[in-house]
Amino acid sequence: MEIIRTPVAMTAWANRMIAAGDSIALVPTMGYFHEGHLSLMRQARKLAKRVVVSLFVNPIQFGPQEDLARYPRDFDRDAALAEQEGVDVLFAPAVAAMYPEGSRTRVAVAGLTGGLCGGSRPGHFEGVTTVVAKLFHLVKPRFAVFGQKDFQQLAVIRRMTADLNWDIEIVGHSIVREADGLAMSSRNVYLSAGERQSALGLSRAIRHARQRVREGLADAAMLLREVREILTATPGIAVEYVECVDEKTLAPAARLAPGVVLAMAARVGTTRLIDNDDLFAEEVK
């Protein structure tokens, strides 16, 4: 596996691969890999001849009071895990390389970024779309793989890619969960043992929602009341939002039907957690 540190070297490598007829799949990450990240790398390997994983803790997607400084990092461990998965390139640029002095350009997607996580994280998605746009230009992928845990992010990136006419297929990969049901996240390391138990309220609420859909419930407002009751009854959980939205437009849904996603965010202690579920999709065993 090759480790590339500069944008110029990254693009030079991509140009060589494309000239040789090799397709590229990109997995954008902020590092501190877990099984969820590794599953994205395996998916990328199925899609293209070459796999690039970017490892970049993107400062412009963090708010002033968020966890940029303490976000978990372990480059050597991440590099070893990526190499074990057969990744061709780990692209790990410095902040100054990605945002040279004088950088002023930002990429914004209107309409999809104001609600859900965007309501409490102003500017977050502009930071995400800006860095992903830069990665697309540098790596020149034919495919880009993102986890569905970041459901809103996936919808925003799909919209950006379509609007800017990029010939890139955006591939969403199913949420990977711990054995107890907690969605895998690099931020799970922040949780104490007690907080970890509280956090299971999110997956418990999703299981309840799926059961209610199987029973034929179609009223989204009723489902949201029940889900919120489960979360608020769980000690240690502070609910930020619980919504049923259209998977593409993120517009609130009044009726439960295919294409509607249950999305939620909550704080457990000082840790912000997100989770979601396509209530009509077949469950991954």
> What pLDDT is recorded for position 281?
85
> What pLDDT is recorded for position 282?
75
Q: How many angstroms separate the CA atoms of 177 and 203, rounded?
A: 9
Per-residue pLDDT averaged across 166-189, rounded? 95
Q: How many angstroms separate the CA atoms of 103 and 147, rounded?
A: 29
Q: Set out the domains of the chain in order of their start, with CATH numbers.
A: 2-173 (3.40.50.620), 186-278 (3.30.1300.10)
Residues 237-268: tens digit of each pLDDT:
999 999 999 999 999 999 999 999 999 999 99
> What pLDDT is recorded for position 283?
64
Question: Global pTM?
Answer: 0.94
Looking at the predicted structure, is the pLDDT value of residue 27 above 60? Answer: yes
Looking at the predicted structure, is the pLDDT value of residue 230 above 90? Answer: yes
137 is catalytic: no
Question: What is the enclosing helix (H) or strand (E) of 261?
Answer: strand 260-268
Catalytic pick from 34, 37, 124, 173?
37
